[in-house]
């Protein structure tokens, strides 16, 4: 999710942006976190001198995006597998007690439809609820089904979104000030977000309303 997906008006921006940008983003609420990542992302995008020099990992972190690592690849693989399995018909050996048809699910229950085997063994789909911990026999063809939950768990105490050791996660407030000087000069405000962040205004230089101050305080 990116800031532009649910863009907030600048009147909700906290007045003390210097303290905001020195905060730990993991400890911020929704509005403060929104403005932290929006200012950090825009400050890096509006720095044409250093933007091309950034590594992939550093740019992802500055933009508030997840860095691709083995953990995220594993999670995405599970999601893609489940999305495929939940929309595709099961094709395989006839389910028996020794080798039941495995029904993948992320919950403890899933609706299953059995159409039997092939040829003369095929029958009208028979629907039933398959729950975790039980074997289910089709009432028409005696085929056996078993639900298997698709889960991904982290070890106790593991961070689900660890910071890469090669990434600098401290925002330099001078980057915001530098961008403001570059883009907002000569009476022209070409980057209104930075101007409002540094001058406590809204909408590119207009005084903030009292009600808006309470929201962004």
Model confidence at 210, pLDDT cuts 50, 70, 90, reads low
What is the average pLDDT score of the chain?
A: 85
Please, are residues 111 and 121 in contact by the beta-carbon 8 Å criterion? no
Phi/psi of residue 77, nearest 5 degrees: -65, -40
pLDDT at 1 over 60: no
Give residue 4's pLDDT.
57
pLDDT of residue 160: 66
Read off the pLDDT band of 53 (50, 70, 90): very high
Q: How far is CA 174 from CA 53, 97, 142, in A?
A: 18, 67, 71
CB-based contacts of 126, cutoff 8 Å, min separation 6: 113, 114, 115, 138, 139, 140
- With 60 as the cut, is the pLDDT of residue 217 above it? no
pLDDT in tens, 57-114: 899 999 988 888 777 787 788 778 777 777 778 888 999 999 999 998 878 999 999 9
Closest CA relative to residue 134, chosen from 88, 107, 100: 100
Measured distance CA(178)–CA(183) in Å, rounded:
9
Confidence of residue 182 (pLDDT cuts 50, 70, 90): very high
Tokens of 112: 């299953």
Q: Which residue has the tokens 């028996």?
A: 96
pLDDT above 90 (res 42): yes
On whether the CB atoms of residues 216 and 15 are closer than 8 A, the answer is yes
Least confident of 25-34, 74-83, 118-127: 74-83
The answer to whether 216 touches 31, Cβ cutoff 8 Å, is yes
């Amino acid at each position: 999710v990116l800031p532009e997906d649910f863009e907030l008006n600048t009147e909700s921006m906290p007045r003390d942006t210097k303290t905001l940008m020195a905060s730990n983003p993991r400890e911020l609420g929704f509005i403060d976190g929104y403005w932290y990542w929006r200012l950090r992302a825009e400050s890096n995008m509006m720095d044409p001198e250093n933007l091309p020099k950034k590594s992939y990992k550093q740019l992802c972190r500055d933009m508030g995006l997840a860095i691709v690592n083995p953990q995220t690849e594993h999670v995405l693989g599970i999601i893609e597998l489940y999305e495929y399995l939940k929309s595709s018909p099961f094709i395989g050996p006839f389910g028996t007690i020794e080798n039941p048809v495995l029904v993948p699910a992320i919950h403890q229950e899933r609706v299953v439809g059995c159409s039997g085997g092939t040829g003369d063994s095929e029958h009208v789909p028979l629907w039933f609820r398959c729950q975790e911990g039980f074997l289910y026999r089709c009432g028409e063809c005696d085929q056996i089904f078993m639900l298997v939950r698709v889960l991904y768990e982290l070890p106790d105490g593991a961070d689900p979104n660890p910071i890469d050791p090669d990434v600098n996660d401290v925002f330099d407030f001078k980057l915001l000030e530098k961008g403001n000087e570059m883009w907002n000069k000569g009476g022209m405000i070409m980057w209104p977000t930075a101007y409002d962040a540094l001058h406590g205004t809204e909408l590119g230089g207009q005084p903030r309303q009292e009600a808006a101050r309470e929201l962004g305080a």
